[in-house]
Structure 1
C-alpha cells in the first residue's frame, strides 16, 4: 500500500516537472508572423494562444492570399484567417495590401484535412474595404472568392466562408 502511494507521488512529481519544462520551453517559442494565434479542437473548446497548446500536433501551413488588382482593393483593417479542418480550427492574423500575392509560412496547430476557411476583417482604418481574389494553402487547397469584403460593397459583409475546391 505504502509503495503504491510513493510510486503515485513520484509519477505526479515527474508529470509536474515535465509540464513545467514544456511550459518554459513553449514560452520561449516565438511565432514566425504576428502573435494573434488561437486554436480549438472540434468539441467547442475555447480558443487559447498557440504556445499554451502543449502536446498538440503542429504543422507548417504555406498560405498565399491574392488581393484583387482593383482601385481600393487593399485594406487598412486587421485581417484574420480561420482554417477549419477535420480535427478543429486555427485562427491567425494576416497583413497585406492591394494587387499583391502575400505568402505566409505559419507554424500552427494541425487541423487535419482542410475543409473550409473564414476570412474576415475588423472594418477599421481609413480604407477597410478589401477585394479578395482567392486563398491557397499548401499549394493544393484552393479557396476562390472574387468578391468585396466591405460594408459598402456586395452583401455588406466583412467576412466570408469559403469551401475548399
Structure 2
C-alpha cells in the first residue's frame, strides 16, 4: 500500500506542476529558468520562477565579447547581457573561470538559455563595481550575428552610462 501512495502522490505533484505551468502560459507569462537568468515572453512583463524542463525550449548560444585595446579598457565589474528576440528576452550574467573583460581580450561563452527566437537586439551592462569599473566594449557576436558598440560603459566617460542597447546588423 505504501508504494501505491507514493506513486499517487508523485502523479498528483506532476499534475499540479503541469497545471501551474499551463496557467502561467495562459496568462501570457513565461516562467524563469535557473537562478542566473530570467525570461519573459512579453515585453514589460515581470519574470516569474520556472520549474525546470516543463515545456521550455532551450537553445545553445555562442557569445563572444570583444574588449577594446585602449588604456584602461578592461573591467572587473560584473557584466550582464539581455538577449531580445522575436519570442521574448533572456538575461544572464557573463562569467566563466577566466579573468574576463581585460584590455584587448575576447571572452567566449557557451550558454544554454531559453530560446528567444530570432535575435533583434541585445543590452550589455555592468554593475559598476570594483576599483576601476569603466569598460570599453568593441562588439559582441552571438552565433555569427554582430552587435557593434565601440564605446565606453563608464560613469566617467562618454554619456556616463554603464549599459548600451545594440542592434543586429
Q: Give TM class, smaller chain.
A: 0.7 to 0.9
1: distance between equivalents of 2:40 and 2:53? 9
Q: Is the 1:36–1:49 Cα contact (8 Å) retained in structure 2? A: no
C-alpha separation between the residues in 2 aligned to 1:90 and 1:111?
Answer: 7
1:111-150 alignment, distance < 5 Å:
111-139=116-144, 141-150=145-154
Structure 2 residue matching 1:55: 3-state secondary structure:
coil
Q: Normalising by structure 1, what TM-score?
A: 0.76
* Partner of residue 101, structure 1: 106
Residue matched to 1:157: 161
Following superposition, the deviation at residue 37 of structure 1 comes to 1.5
Equivalent residues in 2 for 1:1-165 (5 A)? 14=11, 16-17=13-14, 36-48=36-48, 52=52, 54-95=54-95, 96-98=100-102, 99-139=104-144, 141-165=145-169
Shift, 1:59, TM fit: 0.5
Q: CA RMSD in A?
A: 2.4
Q: Normalising by structure 2, what TM-score?
A: 0.75
